[in-house]
Structures are given as C-alpha cells and as structure tokens.
C-alpha cells in the first residue's frame, strides 16, 4: 500500500467536497475522504504509530463540519 497515494486521494476528496456543486456531491466526497482517512489510520496503527490511535475521526478526515 502506498501511504502517500492515500494521503493524496484524501486531499483530493476534501478539495472536491469544498468545491462540490451540491449537498449530495459534498456528502459523497466527504464520505470518500473519511474512507481514505480510515485506511490511513488503520495502516499507521498496523505500523505501530500509536499517536494516530488517539485522533478523533473528524479531525483525521480533515472534514470536521461546523
């Protein structure tokens, strides 16, 4: 697994969410970002990067809604 590729895909998803033309598109892009964030987190934990285990999900996705 290429961790940099996952980071890139997460960033692309968050940028697409920010520029989404509709609420549905934004939701879909945020869901994709969340999926990539989960994969990144799981990979880091598997490698023993325990700091990532304490990150809140919304912060990990970079997509916290206010």
- Rounded CA Rg of the chain: 12
**Is 50 exceeded by the pLDDT of residue 66?**
no
pLDDT of residue 2: 84
CB 41 within 8 A of CB 50: no
Query: Using one digit for the tens of pLDDT, what is the confidence trace for 4-60?
Result: 999 999 999 999 999 999 999 999 999 999 999 999 988 888 888 765 556 555 455
DSSP state of 50: G
Kindly report the pTM of this predicted structure: 0.72
**3-state SS class at 25:** helix
pLDDT of residue 12: 98
pLDDT of residue 57: 54
């Amino acid at each position: 697994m290429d961790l940099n590729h996952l980071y890139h895909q997460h960033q692309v998803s968050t940028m697409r969410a920010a520029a989404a033309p509709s609420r549905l598109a934004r939701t879909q892009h945020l869901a994709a970002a969340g999926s990539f964030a989960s994969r990144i987190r799981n990979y880091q934990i598997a490698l023993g990067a325990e700091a990532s285990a304490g990150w809140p999900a919304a912060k990990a996705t970079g997509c916290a809604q206010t």
